[in-house]
Amino acid sequence: MKTDQPLFLNEGQVREHLRMNQLIPAMEKALIDFSAGRVTQPVRSVIKVDVASATGFLGLMPALTPDGLGLKAVTFYPSNAERGIPTHMATIFLVDPQTGTPLAIMDGRLITEMRTAAVSAAATKLLAPPDAKILAILGSGVQARSHVEALRLIRNFEEIRVWSPTRERAEQFAKEIGATAMSAEKAVRDADVIVTATNSKTPILRGAWLKAGCHVNAIGACRPAQMKRPSSNLSGWPSKISPQQCSFTDQLREGKTAAHLPKTRRQRKAVAICSKNLISRSCPTRGLLPWNSSQRNIER
């Protein structure tokens, strides 16, 4: 493609063209490419911002894939919530991998919102029980809402439960999506699929609450301050979790990490499920299956 000027797309224009039912299979392909080693992506680079009016960070996430070359720049400013503007903002820059010619500059806030949920849906499609009926959402922000939209496309949930740190927000969100607000423990008990979508700096989910065979989509703990893990090990989980089965965030209060594996290898172990190289629900396992939806540049 040759052009004198790159294409510019604002959030409204992105919204006109981006559809969740098309995004989910696109994320499946991205995970397969990553698992097959067809993707080059360095660890994200993060700059902490500490100015007079706020603190936040700028993250840079480049990736080279069989289909293209690009970079996502994202900012996170928690205090933006008080200003009435998004806490996360992003820009995506695409270039021609053959020449380096800029192709497009797109608003990335909505893309980030939707692609995270689409990745969770891709994982849930393969890992969650086929007859999953109860969905628990821990959180009430944009990721919580986006996950409800995406997960409803791949499972027919009969009940959706909601918890949020702010009771009023939980009740409002539950009303908007046709769910029921309750405590975190009540929401999670006997749920088939659980989503953790908060910016909490302390763990919000106990392993003892989870039933055998449930699936956990963990979103929101991508920064060190949000990774506070108690020393407890596997005592609260229904059964053993292996690094071949999952990669998960530290929002899970009790469990076992795959920290002894290099990060890239852990990610490939997890996403290889999409290409059916590893454990899937068709295998004779009753283990808990967590999934981290926040770690791969290829998805951006």
- List 74's β-bridge partners, or say none: 59, 90
Instruction: Check residue 178 and give left, alpha or beta (phi > 0: left; psi -120 to 50: alpha).
Output: left
* 184, 161 Cβ separation under 8 angstroms: no
Q: Is 80 helix (H, G, I), strand (E, B) or coil?
A: helix
- List, by residue number, the catalytic residues: 72
Sign of CA dihedral 42, 229, 90, 247: positive
- List 232's β-bridge partners, or say none: none
Residue 75, both tokens:
């900012």
Sign of CA dihedral 155, 23, 146, 259: positive
- Report the alpha-carbon distance of residue 62 to residue 293 in Å, rounded: 17
Best CA proximity match to 68, nearest among 51, 47, 92, 49: 92
**Beta strand pairing call for 134-138 and 215-219:** unpaired
* 76, 56 Cβ separation under 8 angstroms: yes
How far, rounded to the nearest angstrom, does the alpha carbon of residue 116 sit from its chain's CA centroid?
4
* DSSP string for 95-106: E-TTT--EEEEE
Best CA proximity match to 112, nearest among 74, 83, 144: 74
